[in-house]
Structure 1
Amino acid sequence: MQSERCDLAVLGGGLSGGLVALAMARHRPDLRVILIERGEKLGGDHVWSFFASDLPPGGEELVEPLIAARWPGYDVHFPGRSRRLSTPYRSATSMKLDAAVRAALPGECIVTGAEVCAATPTSVVLAGGRTIAAGAVIDARGTHGMAHMTGGWQKFMGQTLRLSAPHGLSLPVVMDARVEQVDGYRFVYCLPFSPTEVFVEDTYYADTPALDLPVLRRRLADYAAQHGWRVEAVAYEEAGVLPVIAAGDFDAFWQAGDSGAARAGTAAALIHPLTSYSFPDAVKFALYLSALDNLSGASLERASHAWAADHWRRGRFYRMLSRMLFGAARPEARWRVLKRFYGLPRPLIERFYAGRSGLADKARILAGKPPVPISAALASLAGRGRPLADLATDGRDPA
């Protein structure tokens, strides 16, 4: 039986765990950090995108090695409204995350293809008997459901298409809702990585988590054909289901954790409740952890709980909007809510995505003629959505 020691063991080599490892390597190089991942590569199969305005001080430097493309703005399209916004936009990839972490940590500190059998705040046992004694353990393995949470789902399939001729896009299309509205609010998302390479994602704000992969592939092909794009090859594909949180019992959610270790990412509910957006929160939390003086197991658990509880409190407004989106708007008409939102001032939209909406922003979002019936909106505030406890939320294809 192998046994070893480290200052910090990070369980899970996805976005949250990878960023924690990178932040520690950058700001706490004196610490021995071991990263443990179930898969053979870090980050899984993902494209993560974010607005430059989302990042905290120090965030841009931390994520720079992950960036695959950057643009000076983005477009949105709805029936009767198109808009170009000048907020800089960035995309990162799991391939670059894998390379960045491997460059930052010694090879023996990256353990892949390893199943965690047991974990405590200060120890890890892997399949095969390998044990790691740690000053602290942080669990960033995501979840296979969010017990004690309710809401809806954001589900998606994305493909990188290689084309025989230029696609003609100069900027990302963050939302194209001019498509047929099926299975809730549907939009298509496009990232032009090169003149002849574009990542296209079909996304749904849906009431159920079911993914019909053949249907989604057909819709992606139809979207490309409608734009006159001749596809030579599908170079990459990802699919997943993410929670849209409308309500929940945070204390019960936290107590449902079985290891007692500190938590990060989805395991700590560190996502934007309405957008399912996790990148900025993962960056902020990783930087916060790297600045802590006390990294003992018990202290780190208390710190992660306090951070997650504060994030939960600050998300109250966004959870209310989730209830209104799923409870008040008819599924085929949910696009009207987003169309109205994208008519608001650009700085307000930036603060919304970053989870920093102020009182004036909240009033502006709720003011004016509502895109849903007032009676339905009021009734939705009492609703809690569907249980999220059986949902695979780690970004992997649940099919």
Structure 2
Amino acid sequence: MNDSLHASGHASGHETAPSTTHDVAIIGGGLSGGLIALALHQARPEFRIALIEGGKTLGGNHRWSWFSSDLSEAGRALLSSFRKAGWDEGYDVRFPKYQRNLKTGYRSLSSVDFHERLSRMLPEGTLYLGRRATAIDARGVDLDDGTRINARTVIDCRSFTTSEHLNGGWQVFLGRHMKLEEAHGVERPIIMDATVEQLAPHGNGGAYRFVYVLPLGAHDVFVEDTYYADDPQLDRSALSSRIDAYARSNGWKDSAILGHESGVLPVLTGGNFPAYQDEVRIEGVAIAGARGGFVHPLTSYTMPMAVENALAIAKEADLPGPQLAAMMESRARTHWRKTGFYRLLGRFLFFAAKPERRVNVFQRFYGLREGLIERFYAARSTGFDRVRVLWGDPPVSIPRAMTAMFKRGKPLKPEKTA
């Protein structure tokens, strides 16, 4: 999400700035902020909502994907108006030892369609695009043009911020949307093609690498090269060359490039979450989205959490801002507690498996029962699921796994960029 918003503590100079009054002000027009605005509008159409986004469009430059089983009936209803790509025949995975088709339906939503639909569904005057927040407090938001947006409730939905209080590794990716001259012949999404070379191109000693493929049309295909790496280095040239090679290996010749997507996402292996909450908290302001900790620690999936938070906030729309802030902090702590198992698996991945052999962890996992895999991605693994993931022929040595259980990992400190 291209929020490009900067928060400080309490605002000052409100008396001389022009102001507008809203029921709810949402800072950050990415997936979480946009869905909260939509859910609030549908539940309380009389509310005046301000959705503030530093970029020129909602959602930045992203593609969000999820399994059809990830969402509740109410969640599917919330997304029903968006134009989505969908595959009811399931998806494929490919590993050195096997290939498998899993029957769970798959869905994908582009930020272009996200922006277009929300722009139509939300009332005129809701969107504040290309506007940066210079100060945020429980009573409203100051924008960079001097406008003061007063609000009964303020919700912070900006991007995840790295922190010394959180530990882990990184998921690095570059995606390319291509229109081919000839039909590509891919019938279903390929969620993981791990038959590709496992040495990372940025020279950090190796990484788990896979290619993600979405057949968006007979001639349209989205190809993303992804790494689970120890360092957050995004080498666009190397990743682009890998995509070129993958396209050639599939016989996909000259094509028009319709767009790119890239990112570096944290893979959480542990940390002091209360200290992180203290770090990002603005008193009386609710926090949602990745900034609030609402992500899958291992896969970085956000759609199920974003949908459920949007529905929960809409249900409690009449709560005063500070009470909503307390509710969201409690939800975040519950989410952190419930997802401890996935952080443990992240420690196994990064600290027990040698980088070039991390593929074995996923190769074993995708050989398990389909329902277990579905629940895993939605962060709803049962007790039996957890035992089954850990039991049996382990993809890493027992001594290394035992040692990894007690490692913290590198702090996810802010990285300086050129």
Q: C-alpha displacement at 1:57, in angstroms?
A: 2.8
Q: C-alpha displacement at 1:280, in angstroms?
A: 0.8
Range with greater deviation from structure 2 (26-35 or 194-203):
26-35
**Aligned residue in 2 for 1:239:** 262
**CA deviation digits over 1:202-253, x for unaligned, max 9?**
0000000000101111110110001000132111101001110000111100
Q: C-alpha displacement at 1:107, in angstroms?
A: 2.6
Normalization by structure 2: what TM-score? 0.92
Verify: 1:31 aligned to 2:47, yes or no: yes
Report if the CA contact (8 A) 1:118-1:259 is conserved.
no
**Aligned residue in 2 for 1:316:** 340
Matched AA of 2:192: M
Matched AA of 1:204: Y
**Aligned residue in 1 for 2:58:** 42
Range with greater deviation from structure 2 (136-145 or 204-213):
136-145
**What secondary structure does 1:65 align onto?**
coil
**CA deviation digits over 1:318-345, x for unaligned, max 9?**
1100011100001111010101001100
**What secondary structure does 1:205 align onto?**
strand
**Aligned residue in 2 for 1:157:** 174
Report if the CA contact (8 A) 1:142-1:266 is conserved.
yes
Partner Cα separation in structure 2 for residue 163 and residue 326 of structure 1: 37
**Aligned residue in 2 for 1:346:** 370
**CA deviation digits over 1:293-333, x for unaligned, max 9?**
53311011101101111000101111100011100001111
Report if the CA contact (8 A) 1:121-1:301 is conserved.
no
Matched AA of 1:36: I
**What secondary structure does 1:376 align onto?**
helix
Partner Cα separation in structure 2 for residue 172 and residue 132 of structure 1: 43
Partner Cα separation in structure 2 for residue 164 and residue 120 of structure 1: 53
**Aligned residue in 1 for 2:222:** 199
Partner Cα separation in structure 1 for residue 261 and residue 344 of structure 2: 30
Q: Tell me which of 132, 135, 157 is aligned to 2:152.
A: 135
Report if the CA contact (8 A) 1:66-1:93 is conserved.
no
**CA deviation digits over 1:174-213, x for unaligned, max 9?**
0000000023100000000001110000000000000010
**Unaligned ranges ≥5, structure 2:** 1-16, 201-206
> 1:47-126 to 2 correspondence within 5 Å?
47-72=63-88, 73-126=90-143
Range with greater deviation from structure 2 (94-103 or 195-204):
94-103
Matched AA of 2:367: G
Partner Cα separation in structure 2 for residue 13 and residue 4 of structure 1: 19
Report if the CA contact (8 A) 2:35-2:307 is conserved.
yes
**What secondary structure does 1:182 align onto?**
coil
**What secondary structure does 2:84 align onto?**
strand
Normalization by structure 1: what TM-score? 0.96
Range with greater deviation from structure 2 (382-391 or 14-23):
382-391
Partner Cα separation in structure 2 for residue 351 and residue 212 of structure 1: 33
**What secondary structure does 1:17 align onto?**
helix
Report if the CA contact (8 A) 2:40-2:317 is conserved.
no
Matched AA of 1:157: L
Partner Cα separation in structure 2 for residue 32 and residue 310 of structure 1: 30
User: What's the % identity of the aligned pairs?
Assistant: 45
Partner Cα separation in structure 2 for residue 363 and residue 313 of structure 1: 18
**What secondary structure does 2:109 align onto?**
strand
**Aligned residue in 2 for 1:253:** 276
Q: C-alpha displacement at 1:258, in angstroms?
A: 5.0
> 1:302-381 to 2 correspondence within 5 Å?
302-381=326-405
**Aligned residue in 1 for 2:163:** 146
Range with greater deviation from structure 2 (163-172 or 137-146):
137-146
> 1:221-240 to 2 correspondence within 5 Å?
221-240=244-263
Partner Cα separation in structure 2 for residue 97 and residue 21 of structure 1: 12
Q: C-alpha displacement at 1:388, in angstroms?
A: 1.1
Q: C-alpha displacement at 1:99, in angstroms?
A: 1.4
**CA deviation digits over 1:107-127, x for unaligned, max 9?**
311001111000012210011
Report if the CA contact (8 A) 1:135-1:295 is conserved.
no
Report if the CA contact (8 A) 2:161-2:291 is conserved.
no
- Deviating beyond 3 angstroms after TM superposition, the runs of 4 or more aligned structure 1 residues are none
Q: C-alpha displacement at 1:102, in angstroms?
A: 1.1
Partner Cα separation in structure 1 for residue 317 and residue 219 of structure 2: 48
Q: Which has the higher contact order (CA 8 A, sep 6+)?
A: 1
Report if the CA contact (8 A) 2:212-2:223 is conserved.
yes
**What secondary structure does 1:133 align onto?**
strand
Aligned residues: 394
Matched AA of 1:263: I
Report if the CA contact (8 A) 1:160-1:234 is conserved.
yes
Q: C-alpha displacement at 1:67, in angstroms?
A: 3.8
Verify: 1:180 aligned to 2:200, yes or no: no
Q: C-alpha displacement at 1:146, in angstroms?
A: 3.4
Q: C-alpha displacement at 1:147, in angstroms?
A: 4.0
Matched AA of 2:325: E
Q: C-alpha displacement at 1:259, in angstroms?
A: 2.5
**What secondary structure does 2:163 align onto?**
coil
